[in-house]
Amino acid sequence: MRLTTKGRFAVMAMIDLAENQADSPVSLASIAERQEISFSYLEQLFGKLRRYQIVKSVRGPGGGYRLARDAAEITVADIVIAVDEQLDATSCGGEQNCVDARRCRAHHLWANLNRRMFAYLESVTLANLVASEIGPESEETLRRMNSR
């Protein structure tokens, strides 16, 4: 289980967009240059983000992208889900057919990890990331997870 390039790049690009959209829409070319991400790859990612209404496009001269919602309302989980990122620690994709069509002995461990990982990603907002912090609500989530 790992977060792939798709998810990492989407989060990086969204932080960049949130930081740079104050005066005008942000072009994908400028994000690509600053983040060293392929322009065509960003086009694919932003198409998905737009379909999930996380970003909106602005056409014409000076066009680009803006956040469709406030950064405090967009979670890392929203971004990851929008770009079709699979965050699944189970080897069976949750089907419980891990080994010879049977659930493996550690299935519940990996399924619980999935739930906790998703809960954490839901607790971190784009605004937290722009502020370069995970925020008190995320810190509390981490404390609760570590105390179990």
- Per-residue pLDDT reduced to its tens digit, 37-88: 999 999 999 999 999 999 999 998 888 999 999 999 999 999 999 997 677 7
How many folded domains does the chain comprise? 1
Q: Predicted confidence band at 1 (pLDDT cuts at 50, 70, 90)?
A: very low
Query: What percent of the chain has a predicted confidence (pLDDT) above 90?
Result: 52
Phi and psi (nearest 5°) for 134? -90, -10
What is the pLDDT of the chain when averaged over all its residues?
Answer: 83
Domain limits for position 143: 5-147
Which one has a higher pLDDT value, 126 or 135? 126
Confidence (pTM): 0.79
CATH number of the domain where residue 65 is located: 1.10.10.10
The residue type at 102? R
pLDDT higher than threshold 70 for residue 147: no
pLDDT at 125: 94
Phi and psi (nearest 5°) for 58? -120, 120
Q: Cα dist. 141→18, 77, 118, 145 in Å?
A: 24, 14, 11, 6
